[in-house]
Structure 1
Amino acid sequence: MSGSCAASGEEVGSRQRPQDDFSGLSPYERKRLKNISENANFFASLQLSESAARLREMIKKRQPPKSKRKKPKKRENETGCRRSMRLLKVDPSGVSLPAPAPQPTLVVDANPLLPPGPLEMTPENRDDNNELFKEFLQTWTEMSKTSTVDTENKLSSIKSYKGNLSDMAITEDTVNKVTQGPVSSMALHPSETRTLVAVGAKSGQIGLWDLTQHPKEDGIYVFHPHSEPVSCLYFSPANPANILSLSYDGTLRCGDFSRAIFEEVYRNERSSFSSFDFLAEDASTLIVGHWDGSISLVDRRTPGTSYEKLVQSALNKIRTVHVHPVYRQYFIAAGLRDAHIYDTRHLKPRGSQPLISLTEHTKSIASAYFSPMTGNRVVTTCADCKLRIFDSSCLSSQVPLLTTIRHNTFTGRWLTRFQAVWDPKQEDCVIVGSMDYPRRIEIFHETGKGVHSFFGGEYLASVCSINAMHPNRYILAGGNSSGKIHVFMN
């Protein structure tokens, strides 16, 4: 529109319209045309188009050509930034330093194996020259000599049994911390006169506690014959002055109080042990279960070293092994999901097949044990929160499931797993810890009925995963996951 206006203005400016051309226009139109004519004449007098053209030519001529900027050259005598000579790996004179020799990688074993052979029985919590320790060893030796008399086990009536259990109590003097770390195994000495508790710990320690000593701390002696958890602990049935201990570290040792040493009974550095039991009543032959599912038959009668026969079971893992109390050629092994009963006379180096398999479990098994007098029952502890009682009175056929006891066995990762064990005096009753509040230790009959619950009030405020009953007396010891032992006795 501005172009047309300018053109109109130029035309009006070049020649004057005749007067009669405005005769037909209104006063507004005539005034508008007059303003257009005046504006056009004014802009034409300024000559803006010619000035803009000249200005563009001048700018184009004066624009310098584009060129890359060259970096200034560094002067040779110019001093640069200071840098660390140590980082440049040169000495003060400027000579390059030699490359440092590679440092060997230091691998520290958290649980180094203890040396083979016998270990001196030196208490960690006592002075080596402590007279109390010498008296302690003498007491255990003398007491073991008087404990070799066999006591006939007779099954008491449930009514009488309950009455004896009700008389058992716990006091401040029967609770004490014996080892560092969780209790993983426990045994009670068969003495009729003194109360002696042996404790195996996850740290590899073995703690001995004589409850007849006062103050109670004077009766505790702690040793370290293993480098990994002590999962199995038994007093020798032939000589109660000896205590045999098995550890994950692949060693089985015998603590001899008369000589104050821990002898090495069996060692296998290529495998990790889980459990053991005595094949012979005189403790001359043993059966050892390995975590990888293999089994060792160990004969201690070989002079100098034990004879070993290694066989492979049908289980991928073995948690516990237990020998039949009457027919000692049979033993039961608890695996991941199944428990197998084997005959030692038919074991093979490869592909040993079980005589009977107990396959009723839905989750991992913690333990499996024959009843202590006749072996007519088997109790298993399973992670599916059930205790199972099997009828093992006839091993030539299937072992039927008799009873299922619903029991919370889920201890989690921080507590030692429960293991239900038979009372050695009462073979139709089992003992097991409990997760219930208030804390307790429970006894069940093989029919599944509750027999007795041990409450300790302020003296039993934790879960006792591992428990052991005296073979002849009414004494019960329970161990928790901090090394504390709780003893109920009448």
Structure 2
Amino acid sequence: MAKLSAYEREREANIARNRALLEQLELKQAVEGLGFPEKQAPQKTKAKPVQPAKKVKKEADAPRRQSARLRSAATLDPNESPSKKRKREAEEQERLAKEAEERIEAQERERLAKKPRHDDLNLIALTDEDTAAVASLSTELQNIAQIRTRRPANPEAFVFDEDSEDQAQVEELRGKLQSLKVVARAKVTENRVYSAAYHPEPTKDLIFFGDKHGQLGIWDARAPQEDEDEHNAETQENGKYWRLQVHWPATSQSSISSVKIDPIDSHTVYTSAYDCTIRALSFTSGVSREIFTNDETLISGMDVVPSGHEMWISDAAGGVTHLDLRQDKSKGKWYQLSDQKIGSVSINPSRENFLLTASNSKELRIWDTRKLQSMITDLSLDASTTEFDSEIVSRFRDSKEGAGCLRGEWRHDRSVSSAYWDPRGRGIVSTSYDDAIRIWDIHSPAFESPKPFPSARPLCRISHNCQTGKWLTILRAQWNPNPDVYPHFTIANMNHSLDIISCKGERIVRLSDSSKITAVQAVTCSHPSVVERAATGNASGRCVLWAPET
């Protein structure tokens, strides 16, 4: 129960005295008529939030400051000679000048500290942990097995003629996923979780969470703890986690908008952030290096092609940037594909040249990147051109050479917050502020034809509350990346639960646990190779692992 203030204690005492006096005068009805509030027992909360294992140490009180005038007055000699006085005043002037110079240097350091960092950063620079903790993280990262995160998928996998065959696949998945429970919890990041990625290592549950202030939390959710606290089992954290301040400054200007694991090198993790940079953290070297910056426009998302050598980046100016990771970051080419913010970008995993964008202009669009990259030649532009604004893109789309550049377009009732290809590269799921999830299924012949995709309604439209407001991360439907299972995706529910839905729109299972979860699990991700695994994060940085109980 919360402690009462002095005013509240005095008020309670006055009420008690007045009640006793009226009862002594046998005026019980008057007591009731006065409407004195009855004392109520505090409500008991079913779920207790998991608490961080480490406590912040309080700093010792700083010594009190004293003005220069008082310091000099205390040491002033009344019998001081004129020569000593001149010498003392000269020394005082020199001291004041030195202090002013130091103050200016401190202000400059403070100004630079608020700017994004562009240099290479090792693990010591990324964390405030001691040497032993950094060494533990370095060893942990280097011991992770090297796995290809995106395996080739068959676009025709799980395509059936009969609905009964789809239903059989759904039932098989339901049998596996309905057993998922909350098996681990921890406050992995200090602030709101914005993005997440599940590492493909099958023997571990290693999840990366990006937060609102540029911090990357690395959580080994099943790792044994060194100090087990049996007396605090309800609020105890599980596993081990490390926090790396990858993007700077540590404010909302550096929110990590997306986390991706390199498709061909699982020892590299990419993070994009609102500080207008993208960085790559190498497990092998323990160094985070900047691979892209635009110094102007907020980066809203990114995706890496399955071959691992190229990246597409979306931004708040309605543009996407193509970056060849084998070239210098200044070689990136920017295409303005919308007049409003593009919130997400997704590369087709089986047909790399098809790019999916979702924007605040209410439109979901599919682009042929081969056409975009031929724009310089087809429009006879200067070979050194790296920026193509909306006017150039529109002119190219209307030209004979640009036919087929925009392959598909579907309009929503409100802004499209996200849209992603499924692991086969034929299904699309989108979320929108019109409180709906839409699913499309594009047949393979449409990809082979140079003509735009036929205009059609989505395969299904699912009502889903997406009004997260100011304090919650936008809800995004995330496909399970495993190409060997029937396509399905996870999405948070505003009722503190996790929905898992099939590629045909059928809800497979809804996971919840009111005894352990009392907040919206806004950010979700799934294990790339183990079906019975999912992870979620909320607005306070607390994260949850869903898995079968052992």
TM-score (ref. length: structure 1):
0.72
> For residues 263-278 of structure 1, what are the structure 2 equivalents within 5 Å?
263-278=289-304
Residue 157 of structure 1 aligns to a residue in which SS? helix
Q: CA deviation at 1:149?
A: 10
* 1:203 lines up with 2:177 in the alignment: no
Match of 1:323 in 2: 347
Q: Which amino acid aligns with 2:288?
A: F
* 1:413 lines up with 2:445 in the alignment: no
Residue 119 of structure 2 aligns to a residue in which SS? coil
Q: CA deviation at 1:114?
A: 2.6
Q: CA deviation at 1:456?
A: 1.9
Kept after mapping to 2: 8 A contact 1:147/1:191: no
Match of 1:212 in 2: 222
Indicate the percent of aligned positions where both proteins have the same amino acid: 23
Match of 1:223 in 2: 244
Residue 345 of structure 2 aligns to a residue in which SS? strand
Unaligned 5+ runs, structure 1: 1-103
> For residues 9-408 of structure 1, what are the structure 2 equivalents within 5 Å?
112-122=114-124, 127-130=129-132, 132-145=133-146, 157-171=169-183, 174-215=184-225, 219-227=240-248, 228-279=254-305, 281-302=306-327, 305=329, 307-336=331-360, 337-347=362-372, 348=375, 349-350=388-389, 351-352=392-393, 353=397, 355-373=406-424, 375-393=425-443, 394-395=446-447, 396-398=452-454, 400=456, 401-408=458-465
Q: Which amino acid aligns with 2:511?
A: F
Unaligned 5+ runs, structure 2: 1-103, 159-167, 226-236, 249-253, 376-387, 398-404
Q: Which amino acid aligns with 2:134?
A: F
* 1:479 lines up with 2:537 in the alignment: yes
Greater percentage in helix: 2
Kept after mapping to 2: 8 A contact 1:299/1:306: no
Residue 134 of structure 1 aligns to a residue in which SS? helix
Alpha-carbon distance between aligned partners in 1 of 2:508 and 2:149, rounded to the nearest angstrom: 31
Kept after mapping to 2: 8 A contact 1:147/1:192: no
Residue 213 of structure 1 aligns to a residue in which SS? coil
Q: Which amino acid aligns with 2:350?
A: V
Q: Which amino acid aligns with 1:289?
A: S
Alpha-carbon distance between aligned partners in 2 of 1:191 and 1:202, rounded to the nearest angstrom: 26
Kept after mapping to 2: 8 A contact 1:188/1:468: yes
Cα 1:152/1:136, change in 2 over 3 Å = farther
List per-residue Cα deviations over 1:339-390 (Å, max 9, x = no partner).
Answer: 11111111242433452343331111110001112x2111110011100112
TM-score (ref. length: structure 2):
0.64
Alpha-carbon distance between aligned partners in 2 of 1:218 and 1:123, rounded to the nearest angstrom: 24
Q: Which amino acid aligns with 2:204?
A: R
Further displaced range: 384-393 or 327-336: 384-393
Q: CA deviation at 1:160?
A: 1.4
Residue 342 of structure 2 aligns to a residue in which SS? coil
- Using CA pairs below 8 Å that are at least 6 residues apart, which structure has the higher relative contact order? 2
Kept after mapping to 1: 8 A contact 2:222/2:239: no
Kept after mapping to 1: 8 A contact 2:490/2:500: yes
Residue 136 of structure 1 aligns to a residue in which SS? helix
Cα 1:110/1:134, change in 2 over 3 Å = closer
Q: Which amino acid aligns with 1:165?
A: L
Alpha-carbon distance between aligned partners in 1 of 2:490 and 2:200, rounded to the nearest angstrom: 18
Q: CA deviation at 1:447?
A: 3.0
Cα 1:109/1:449, change in 2 over 3 Å = farther
Match of 2:498 in 1: 441
Q: CA deviation at 1:321?
A: 0.3
Alpha-carbon distance between aligned partners in 1 of 2:239 and 2:533, rounded to the nearest angstrom: 21
Cα 1:321/1:146, change in 2 over 3 Å = closer
Kept after mapping to 1: 8 A contact 2:408/2:453: no
* 1:431 lines up with 2:455 in the alignment: no
Kept after mapping to 1: 8 A contact 2:215/2:245: yes
Kept after mapping to 2: 8 A contact 1:469/1:475: yes
Structure whose alpha-carbon radius of gyration is higher: 1
Cα 1:124/1:254, change in 2 over 3 Å = closer
Residue 487 of structure 2 aligns to a residue in which SS? strand
